[in-house]
Amino acid sequence: MNKATKVGIIICDRYRTCAGGKCLRAMRNCEGAFSVYKESGAELVGFTTCNGCPGGNVEYAGEEMVKNGAQVVHLATGLLVGYPPCPYIDTFRDFMQHRYGVKVVLGTHPIPRKYLELHTKLGTWEDPSWNERLAPTMADEATRVAYD
Ligand code: SF4
């Protein structure tokens, strides 16, 4: 029996042409926010974009992913590291958790070093509320470099 955790990924529409390389690599290697699946493994059951601000597709994509068996929906790392980070990320998480009863995790692949460096200079993540949002994807330095 396949015990892999079924996951869906929603990416920021600013990166809509992304082929998903970093997310899929991190899923395969159980890195970043996927590190919790080391035991079970993870199976992708949905991948789409929010369809642009203010993210109207989150409502429908979440529903389709859950119907397709998603146990966890990941909001991609691009929502956290974009310039600026997505202003709706907490709303998306709360909405899907309450509407579909699905677990929602912020982030996918490890935060690349270049984003951490620039956001540190910009002071983007100075508010302590960011610590929790960034925790799943704040990997060690070597991993951040590998995802640059
Ligand atoms: S910033 Fe947020 S709402 Fe806007 S395109 Fe990106 S994920 Fe969607």
Q: What is the mean pLDDT of residues 5-33?
A: 97
Nearest to 65 by CA among 84, 48, 42: 48
pLDDT band for position 1 (50/70/90)? low
Cα three-residue angle 137-71-112, rounded to 5 degrees: 15
Cα 9 to averaged position of ligand 1 atoms, centre (Å): 14
Domain extents in the chain: 5-146
pLDDT band for position 77 (50/70/90)? very high
Cα 38 to averaged position of ligand 1 atoms, centre (Å): 29
Cβ proximity of 8 and 73 under 8 Å: yes
What is the CB < 6 Å shell around ligand 1?
A: 12-14, 50, 52-55, 79, 82, 86, 88
Check whether 26 has a pLDDT greater than 80. yes
Reported as type and span, the H/E element at residue 115 is helix 113-122
Nearest to 55 by CA among 9, 87, 94: 87
Cβ proximity of 3 and 40 under 8 Å: yes
Q: Say what percent of the chain tops pLDDT 70.
A: 99
Cα 3 to averaged position of ligand 1 atoms, centre (Å): 32
Strand order of the β-sheet with 72-75 is: 42-49, 5-11, 72-75, 103-106
Residue nearest to atom 5 of ligand 1 (CA): 52
What was the pLDDT predicted at 137? Answer: 98
Half-sphere exposure of residue 11: CA atoms within 13 angstroms, side-chain side: 18
5-146 classified as CATH 3.40.50? yes
- Backbone CA torsion sign across 25, 8, 11, 30: negative
Per residue in 96-147, pLDDT tens?
999 999 999 999 999 999 999 999 999 999 999 999 999 999 999 999 999 9
| pTM score, whole prediction | 0.96
Mean pLDDT of the chain: 96
